[in-house]
Amino acid sequence: MSSFTQTLIASDPAGHQRATQSPFLQRAAAGTLSKALLGRWLANDRLYIHGYIRAAGRLLSFLRLPEAVSHEDRNDNDNDNDDDDDDDAAEALLAWVVDALVNIQRESRFFLSTAAQYGLDVNLPIDATTGRVPAAAKLDGLRRFEALFDGLQSSTDEGPLPWLEAAVLFYATERCYLDAWTWAASQMDGAKDGAEDEDGGAVRRAFIDNWTSAEFAAFVERLAAVIDGAVRAQGEDAQEALRRRGMVMWRAVLEAEAAFWPAVDGS
C-alpha cells in the first residue's frame, strides 16, 4: 500500500512533470542558459528563501509540542524515527524545521558565493519608493510561493494534525526541487565539463551537484517519513480526510513550481 506522500506524488503525473521537467531545466543541463537568465532565476530563488524562512516561523508558532514529559526512556534520536503518536510527530517535525532553517541559511550563502564566483547578478529591480522588489519584477512562481508561505496557518477544523498542510507545503517544494534538478542532471552530457557553458559552468559545475546530493535527498525523505508516520497513526477512518487536505496543498505547490521556471527562447 502506498504511503501518504507516495499517494500525493502519484496523484497528478502531468502536474509533477510540468513542475520538474521544464525547458529552462533542459537548457540548464545543456549549458545554454545565459548568465542574465540564470541570474534572474537565482534572484527569484533568493526571495523564495526569504518566504521559506517566514513560513518556517509560522509553522513553529502553531506547532503543538507536548507539555508533559513521557515516562518512557528515550534518547535524543528517538524523535526522528518514532511516529507512533502526535507528540512524537510534532517533535520530529520541529527538529526537521530547525535543521531546514540551518540548511536554508547555508544555501543562501552558497548562492551568493557561487554567483560572485561566476559573475551572476542576483538582484531584481528595486522600487525606489518602497525599497522592495515590486511584484511585477518577480516570476509568477515566486508570487505564488509568497502567497502560500505568507498564508500558512494551522488547520481551522477540529481534525487531527493541524500542521499537516504546512508540512505538505515544505515537503512538496523540497521534493519538487530535488526531482527537478535530478531530472536536469540526467539530461547532462557527461563528456562536457562546463567550461564552454554560457553561464561559465555555474549550473553544471556547482549548482546541480549541490541540489541533487545524497544529503539533500535524505533530508527530503526524512520529512516524508514524519508525515507518513503521523498520517498512518491516525487510523484508517481518518485517511481519506487527511488525503484530501494534503492534496489541496500538493496541487498548489505543483502549480507554483511549474510557474517558477522562466520561459526560454523556443519554449
Q: Is the pLDDT of residue 3 over 80?
A: yes
b/e per residue 7-31 (b: at least 16 CB within 10 A)? bbbeebeebbebbbbbebbbbbbbb
Residue 191 banded pLDDT, cuts 50, 70, 90: low
The confidence score (pLDDT) of residue 71 equals: 55
Of residues 88 and 68, the one with the higher pLDDT is 88
Diameter of the chain by CA atoms? 63
As a whole number, the mean pLDDT across the chain is 92
Q: Which of 99-103, 174-178, 207-211, 262-266 is predicted least confidently?
A: 262-266
Q: What's the pLDDT band for 212 if we cut at 50, 70, 90?
A: very high
Alpha helices per DSSP H over the chain: 4-11, 13-20, 23-30, 35-62, 78-81, 86-118, 140-150, 164-186, 208-211, 214-232, 239-260
122 domain-assigned: yes
pLDDT above 90 covers a percentage of the chain that reads 83
Could you give the percent of the chain with pLDDT greater than 70? 91
Q: Is residue 88 part of a domain?
A: no
For the cut 80, the answer to whether the pLDDT of residue 194 exceeds it is: no
3-state secondary structure of 201: coil
Give the closest residue to 76 by CA, choosing from 53, 92, 59.
92
pLDDT score of 82? 37
Looking at residue 253, what is its pLDDT?
99
Q: What is the pLDDT of residue 67?
A: 81
Which DSSP letter does residue 21 get?
-
pLDDT at 68: 76
CATH (domain of 8): 1.20.910.10
Residues in the chain: 267
Q: Please give the residue range of the domain that contains residue 134.
A: 4-66+96-260
Mean pLDDT to the nearest integer, 77-103: 78
Model pTM?
0.92
In a domain? residue 80: no
pLDDT average, residue stretch 121-138: 97
Number of domains in the chain: 1
In a domain, 78, yes or no: no
pLDDT of residue 87: 84
- Choice among 18-22, 159-163, 171-175, 248-252 with the minimum mean pLDDT: 159-163
Q: Which pLDDT value is given to residue 189?
A: 80
Task: Determine, yes or no, domain membership for 265.
Answer: no
82 assigned to some structural domain: no
Q: Is the pLDDT of residue 79 over 50?
A: no
Q: Is the pLDDT of residue 9 over 60?
A: yes
Q: Is residue 86 assigned to a domain? A: no
Is 72 among the domain residues?
A: no
- Provide the pLDDT for residue 196: 87
Q: Round to whole Å and give the CA distance between 141 and 131.
A: 22
Please compute the mean of the pLDDT values over residues 214-229 and round it to a whole number: 98
